Amino acid sequence: MKKLNSIDEYKQIIQKENVILMFSADWCPDCRVIEPVLPEIEKENSMYTFFYVDRDEFIDLCGELNVFGIPSFVAFNKGEETGRFVSKDRKTQEEIQDFIDSLKS
């Protein structure tokens, strides 16, 4: 998964097609639980480009996007938000996949 490096990069990547931002942090135990399945999720959903967004590095962006719990996912397509799976709850691989599948409809 690519790592978001700057707000300028964020502004550029959300203009592309089918981007999913995963908001996380190194200290987040629920984020660590899903980490092993992320490569498989990326592989199964190759039509999307995934970016890891460190919540602590981009706290202002989290506020702007109303991401107050992690892990959370926000999807964009050509500058428009197309979906979000945002909560403070632990997420399963199946729940993440269901979210991604919902973007396709």
Task: Choose the catalytic residue: 19, 20, 22, 31.
Answer: 31
* pLDDT score, position 105: 54
In the chain, where the domains are located: 2-103
Q: What residue type is assigned to position 17 of the chain?
A: E
Residue 62 annotated among the catalytic residues of the structure: no
- DSSP string over 23-34: EE-TT-HHHHHH
Residue 31 annotated among the catalytic residues of the structure: yes
Does pLDDT of 33 surpass 60? yes
Q: Please give the Cα distance from 44 to 87 (Å, whole number).
A: 23
CATH class of 2-103: alpha beta
Can you tell me the mean pLDDT for 62-77? Answer: 95
* pLDDT score, position 88: 76
Task: Choose the catalytic residue: 14, 20, 28, 65.
Answer: 28
* pLDDT score, position 104: 75
Per-residue pLDDT band for 36 (boundaries 50, 70, 90) equals very high
